[in-house]
Chains A and B, each alone.
Chain A
Amino acid sequence: MYNFDLIRPSTLEEAVKALGQDEAQALGGGQTLIPTLKQRLAMPETLVSLSGIDAIKGVCVHDDGRLSIGGGTTHATVAREAAAHYPGLAALAASIGDPAVRARGTIGGSLANNDPSACYPAAALGSGATIVTNAREIAADDYFQGMFTTALDDGEIITEVRFPVPEAAAYQKFEQPASRFALVGVFVARYADGVRVAVTGASEEGVFRWSEAEAALSSNFAADALKDLSVPADGMIGDLHGTPDYRAHLVKVLTGRAVAAAS
């Protein structure tokens, strides 16, 4: 690895200031970024580790029932501490990577990177979450802007993610057998005012909502409600692991499984 300065502030203010420097990059849990640095696919001059900022860690429930997760909270912590309030989300966190990855990787890091095969973007979009940064609040529907692209400005830090807790929800993924990333993953959440369905791993545009399925499931929350729907293969990822048609097919299969798991 080439060298860089690593700084580890203990407050958000110091981190924001440090990220104002040229060629500075935030470091969450590092489970994607550190391998990326080793390959020199990213070469920041300064890395600003967010791991020392206690104020952006933790899980809590607001008075209005929303679940709030600090941006620096690890997947392991979400898996443990969100289980009682939002089991579908906790189960998703418990299925990311492996135990050692979950002990370091953070929700803020995952959402900021917006890998097209990452799990958390499906939960955030599927729950209609709000991404809170040091500067503003961004609705999930406006936040995800394509593969590895988000509404975040340079140096902006995810401090918190607020999830409205659904009546029922589940995430199902088909793991790519080598990397264990989601070849396709689908998060389904049923709220009093309708169902949301978010798909990761499939599209060249990154995570997206499958609106036809949302409409069908909002009137009948059963896997059977999907039977006449199909997902177009246009714009789906095609690679050695699966063709666009294969991924499109998986979207429907996994949506059905998620509905069955949530029912």
Chain B
Amino acid sequence: MTSVTMTVNGKSVSGEVEGRTLLVDFLREGQGLTGTHVGCDTSQCGACVVHVDGEPVKACSIFAAEADGAEVTTIEGMANPDGSLGTIQQAFQDHHGLQCGFCTPGMVMSAAALLQENPKPSEAEIRDYLEGNICRCTGYHNIVKAIMAASGQDVSAVAAE
């Protein structure tokens, strides 16, 4: 066991981990932050995307020990300080960007990473960026629409409801 310390959603946290402990397990089981989902566990689906030092990372494919000293943001860190939904979360609600909701944490985290790097993405750029996030309900149109809306763009031209 080794001890790791990282900043999660602005708060310093520490814990003892095995070499094989994945970041997603450290967050979910160690910190009780179960908003980050484990979908496929093979880095295909993107439900576990969190930010590590500002970059989107699949938390099932990085060891907790590798995030020692890092700044980690999870879906729990996306709400406003008063607990209300953040801009991207609110847009997902407004545009019905979720059905079963399982992929949503990863979708929101990927969307946030995209908007940081490209504040006004086109529909094609959004679809391309979400290549590593799979929605088993296949609700992509409204997810794309939500992200367009969160970036302050007109969503009327986005394909089909």
Show the binding face of A for B, using Cβ within 8 Å. Answer: 1-6, 8, 30-31, 34-35, 37-38, 47, 49, 51-52, 76, 97-101, 103-104, 180
* A103 to chain B: closest residue by CB: B55
- Once A4-B20, A8-B68, A100-B110 are accepted as A-B contacts, the answer to whether A38 and B56 lie under 8 Å apart by CB is no
Contact yes or no, B20 A100, CB < 8 A: no
- Bound CA–CA A101/B114 (angstroms): 14
A-B residue pairs, 5 tightest by C-beta: A98-B132, A6-B19, A103-B55, A98-B131, A1-B20
Contact with A along B50-87 (1 / 0, CB 8 A): 00100111100111011010000000000000000000
Q: In angstroms, how far is the closest chain B Cβ from the Cβ of A71? A: 16
Residue of A nearest to B40 (CB): A35
CB B130 to nearest CB in A, in angstroms, measures 8
- Minimum CB–CB distance for A6 against chain B, Å: 3
For B, the interface residue count at a CB cutoff of 8 angstroms equals 28
CB distance from B95 to the nearest CB of A (A): 22
Give the CA-CA distance A4 to B62 in the complex, in Å.
15
Which A residues are CB-close (under 8 A) to B66? 6, 8, 30, 49, 51-52
Inter-chain contact B61/A99, CB cutoff 8 Å: no
Residue among A4, A5, A8, A30 making CB contact with B61, cutoff 8 Å: A30
In the complex where A31-B61, A34-B62, A51-B66 touch, is A4 in contact with B19 (Cβ < 8 A)?
A: yes
Q: Which residues of B in the span 15-62 have a Cβ within 8 Å of any Cβ on A?
A: 18-20, 22, 41-43, 46, 49, 52, 55-58, 61-62
Residues of A with C-beta under 8 A to B18: 3
The chain A residue sitting closest to B18, CB to CB, is: A3
**Contact assessment for A99 and B56 in the assembled complex, using a CB-CB cutoff below 8 Å:** yes
State whether A8 and B46 are in contact (beta carbons under 8 Å apart), knowing that A76-B55, A103-B57 are contacts in the complex: no
Partner of A101, one of B41, B43, B52, B63: B43
Cβ of B42 and Cβ of A30 under 8 Å apart? no
Which of B42, B63, B110 is close to A99, meaning CB atoms less than 8 Å apart? B110
Beyond the given A100-B43, A100-B58, A100-B132, could you list 6 further A-B residue pairs with CB under 8 A, ordered by the A residue number? A8-B66, A8-B68, A30-B63, A34-B22, A34-B62, A101-B58
- The interface residues of chain B lying within 8 Å CB-to-CB of A37 are 20
CB distance from B104 to the nearest CB of A (A): 16
Residues in chain B near residue A104, CB distance under 8 A: 57-58, 61-62
